[in-house]
Amino acid sequence: MGPQPGELVLQAPARGRPPQHLLDLDAAGRRDAVVALGLPAFRADQVSRHWLGRLEDDPSTWTDLPAAVRDQITEALLPPLLTPVRALTCDGGATVKTVWRLHDGSLVESVLMRYRATASSRERTTMCISSQAGCGMNCPFCATGQAGLTRNLSTAEIVEQALAGARSLARGDVAGGPGRVSNIVFMGMGEPLANYRSVVGALHRLCDPAPSGLGLSARGITVSTVGLVPRIRELAGEGLPVTLAVSLHAPDDELRDTLVPINTRWKVSEVLDAAWEYAATTKRRVSIEYALIKDVNDQAWRADLLAKRLRGKLVHVNLIPLNPTPGSKWTASRPEDEREFVRRLEAGGVAVTVRDTRGREIDGACGQLAARVSDENA
């Protein structure tokens, strides 16, 4: 049974935490853990280079470590965390949604999206990863929010989703041949800033140079939030200049209180003020996510109000044609209303893009991730 309308869950249930994994620890913590096993500290860096630097998840290939050491470290620090239940593909195999079962039976999803090079852009691959099993924010148009919150993911469970995608690309398993992950978006299941410590740990594993992490650029990583104001301000001080994406979906409090229930805690002006502070601190442009819903939030006057709130700020608007979810009473805006919304934002001096609806056919697009048991059994 899902949550009641407007009900928020900010504190995740304390259940189902996985066993500790190498990726839950920073470089110093890994060395301490290896020493606690009676091994030299440098073994931690060796294992990290294989797991993160070379994407080698088969310990039998780590021939620079004695077999007994490989077995000892694998048993103690590399427990299996994600088991693939089902993979669905579309776009000729360039989009892959994977349903994962966690050690306690919880289900989460990640989506890999590969974009071919065009005349104006290079080839890139984006991984959309989950930070929670379910979500406690209860946005009524989002399948994840309607399912409720099961638990937070650990740092390692989050990072392993990205690593799974990176490994499949490196092996050439994704249409288009071998490649690498270029962008990561925390826009899968869950509210990332409600699982703050695990998400910040994951950001370090993704951004820190090898052997500590994957060595990805923070500029290629986006963290989405419905607007947990204190956490936005905390993230600004972490020294990790990732892109902040605010799931706004309405420019006025009256409507946003309904569409995004966290607005009953922190109003639109408070959320945007925190976002502008984040932009000023990190020098990174804020992304405003806005799902266009027919006759709900797509009126021309709301476009004008949104432009007024954003004008002159370091910001870009991503308009998202509402993706269908089972049982939803809402649908995407009419094409003419979408065009008028874009026109009014541009006339108001605000940069805007209508987002590609990659993965819609496999329920892998924005707002569609629900990790239903039916996905497992199909």
**Do the Cβ atoms of 154 and 195 come closer than 8 Å?**
no
Angle subtended at Cα 287 by Cα 136 and Cα 209, rounded to the nearest 5 degrees: 85
Q: How many residues does the chain have?
A: 378
- Rounded CA separation 173/114 (Å): 12
pLDDT of residue 2: 66
Active-site option among 7, 90, 109, 336: 109
Identify the pLDDT of residue 360: 52
Per-residue model confidence (pLDDT) at position 328? 76
At 378 the pLDDT is: 36
Please report the pLDDT score of residue 118 as a whole number: 82
Q: Of these residues, 128, 135, 139, 366, which one is catalytic?
A: 366
Identity of the residue numbered 129: I
Contacts of 256 (CB under 8 A, 6+ apart): 248, 249, 250, 263, 268
pTM, rounded to two decimals: 0.92
Task: Provide the pLDDT for residue 375.
Answer: 43
Domains of the chain as residue ranges with CATH: 22-77 (1.10.150.530), 83-377 (3.20.20.70)
pLDDT at position 10 is 85
Decide: helix, strand or coil at residue 125. strand
Q: Is the peptide bond before 211 cis (omega within 30 degrees of 0)?
A: yes
pLDDT in tens, 19-43: 999 999 999 999 999 999 999 999 9
Beta-ladder partners of 317: 288, 352
Known active-site residue 90: no
- pLDDT the model gives residue 33: 98
- Per the annotation, the verdict on 366 as an active-site residue is yes
What Cα–Cα distance (Å) separates residue 323 from each residue in 267, 287, 320, 365? 25, 19, 8, 7
Q: Are 190 and 198 in contact (CB under 8 A)?
A: no
Please list the residues that pair with 223 across neighbouring strands. 186, 244
Question: Where would I find the beta strands (DSSP E) of 142-220?
Answer: 149-152, 183-186
Position 53 scores a pLDDT of 94
Would the CA dihedral through 192, 194, 195, 196 be positive or negative?
positive
DSSP, residue by residue, 138-154:
--TT-HHHHH-EEEEPP
Whole-number Å distance between alpha carbons of 55 and 79: 16
Which portions of the chain are predicted below pLDDT 70?
1-2, 357-378
Q: Which of 369, 374, 313 is nearest to 345 (CA)?
A: 313
Res 233: pLDDT? 98
Q: What is the pLDDT of residue 198?
A: 98
Say what the pLDDT of residue 32 is.
Answer: 98
Between CA 190 and CA 206 the distance in angstroms is 19
CB 366 within 8 A of CB 293: no
What pLDDT is stored for residue 338 in this prediction?
96
